[in-house]
């Protein structure tokens, strides 16, 4: 992309209001060096050197949207624990307000701890609660959603679902109906538990694994196979657009037209967070008025760039140079 095109894109993206509703999490990285195998068991011994906490899940989506110049608000729930404090600190450092996040004493903050040695991923440990919100939590979060909606007048809403319990059918229906009534586009990054609850959204973005699990058979990453699976999905959900991410095979978009978006050839370092980048770029580009196909092309390139970086990182403008 030429510099003048990039400048024009930045101007279009600037201050677009994106409201994100979804599961937040903390991505923790433990870095070290492995020089030997344990005498106690056939496992490597890590010489622990550093640790770092980064924003993950819907919080990473918020960071990506912010990096592209959008105005971002985030509705979610986390634990009133040490990890929640780290999450809160990370949001503030990133310039994202935590006004609409409920820090609950009834649950712990979702934390994914990755153990790394020389950029090699050795182990991941997850600490999380995935039950649905309690009545008191649900009431509080619903109030936060309404407050965020009323005060920020979003250009677009993202629903970022990781099956951690924030989103149930009632909350999902409330969000979608409010968006439809106000003619605000809503795009969804689904997971398995609520997959079939996202009715008539502007754009629905499962990955190939999620699509396969939902329709009950393994979908092959070929255009004709993906198109057939999307036809089944459309018969139940009736979305305006469907974008299926296919990993190394690119993406398949079906809306006004159907097209395979070829993968960008890059040297992969870490695919963590690539899906977050796709939904973020789509959201800001669509909020700026770009056609869905053009937004998907930008998202494809942005995700490819993120995959060349170690760990979960926000997309940067150099992705489109």
In this model, does residue 122 exceed pLDDT 60? yes
Q: Assess contact for 295 and 261: CB atoms under 8 A.
A: no
Write down the pLDDT at residue 317. Answer: 61
Write down the pLDDT at residue 105. Answer: 97
> What percent of the chain has pLDDT above 70?
92
Write down the pLDDT at residue 290. Answer: 94
Give the pLDDT confidence of 15-44 residue by residue, as tens digits. Answer: 899 999 999 999 999 999 999 999 999 999
DSSP, res 138: H
Write down the pLDDT at residue 271. Answer: 57
Report the first-to-last Cα separation within the chain, whole angstroms.
5
Return d(Cα 51, Cα 27) in angstroms, integer: 11
Give the pLDDT confidence of 265-276 residue by residue, as tens digits. Answer: 656 555 566 778
The tokens of 57 are what?
């899940």
Q: Which domains occur in the chain, in start order?
A: 3-320 (3.40.1190.20)
From residue 213, how far is each of 208, 209, 241 by CA, in Å?
9, 6, 20
Residues 6+ apart with CB under 8 A from 199: 173, 176, 237, 238
Whole-structure pTM over 0.75, yes or no? yes
Write down the pLDDT at residue 319. Answer: 61
Write down the pLDDT at residue 208. Answer: 95
Give 254's pLDDT tier (boundaries 50, 70, 90).
very high
Write down the pLDDT at residue 19. Answer: 98
Write down the pLDDT at residue 1. Answer: 65
Write down the pLDDT at residue 266. Answer: 59
Average pLDDT over residues 235-264: 92
Report CA dihedral (65, 66, 70, 76) to the nearest 10 degrees: 70
Chain position carrying tokens 């669509």: 286
In this model, does residue 184 exceed pLDDT 80? yes
Average model confidence (pLDDT) for the chain? 92
Give the pLDDT confidence of 70-118 residue by residue, as tens digits. Answer: 999 999 999 999 999 999 999 999 999 999 999 999 999 999 999 999 8
Give the pLDDT confidence of 48-72 residue by residue, as tens digits. Answer: 999 999 999 999 999 999 998 999 9
* Residues noted as catalytic: 276
Average pLDDT over residues 267-289: 81
């Amino acid at each position: 992309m030429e510099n003048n095109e990039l400048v024009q894109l930045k101007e279009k993206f600037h201050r677009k209001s994106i409201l994100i509703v979804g599961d937040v999490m903390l991505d923790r990285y433990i870095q070290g060096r492995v020089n030997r195998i344990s005498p106690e068991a056939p496992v490597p011994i890590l010489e622990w050197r550093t640790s770092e906490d980064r924003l993950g899940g819907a919080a990473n989506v918020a960071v990506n949207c912010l990096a592209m110049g959008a105005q971002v608000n985030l509705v979610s729930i986390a634990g009133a624990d040490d990890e929640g404090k780290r999450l809160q600190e990370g949001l503030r450092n990133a310039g994202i307000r935590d006004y609409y996040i409920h820090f609950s004493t009834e649950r712990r903050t979702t934390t994914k701890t990755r153990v790394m040695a020389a950029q090699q991923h050795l182990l991941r440990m997850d600490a999380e609660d995935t039950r649905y919100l309690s009545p008191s939590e649900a009431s509080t979060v619903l109030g936060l959603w309404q407050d965020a909606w009323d005060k920020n007048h979003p250009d677009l809403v993202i629903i970022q679902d990781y099956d951690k319990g924030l989103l149930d059918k009632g909350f999902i229906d409330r969000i979608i109906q409010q968006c439809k009534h106000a003619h605000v586009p809503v795009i969804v990054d689904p997971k398995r538990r609520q997959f079939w609850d996202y009715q008539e959204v502007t754009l629905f973005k499962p990955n190939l694994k999620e699509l396969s699990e939902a329709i009950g058979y393994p979908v092959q990453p070929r255009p004709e196979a993906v198109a057939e699976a999307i036809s089944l999905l459309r018969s139940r959900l009736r979305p305006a657009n469907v974008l299926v991410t296919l990993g190394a095979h690119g993406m398949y978009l079906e809306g006004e037209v159907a097209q395979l978006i070829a993968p960008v050839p890059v040297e992969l370092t870490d695919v963590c967070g690539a899906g977050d980048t796709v939904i973020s770029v789509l959201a800001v580009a669509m909020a700026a008025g770009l056609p869905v196909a053009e937004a998907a092309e930008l998202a494809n390139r942005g995700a490819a760039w993120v995959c060349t970086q170690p760990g979960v990182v926000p997309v940067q403008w150099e992705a489109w140079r």
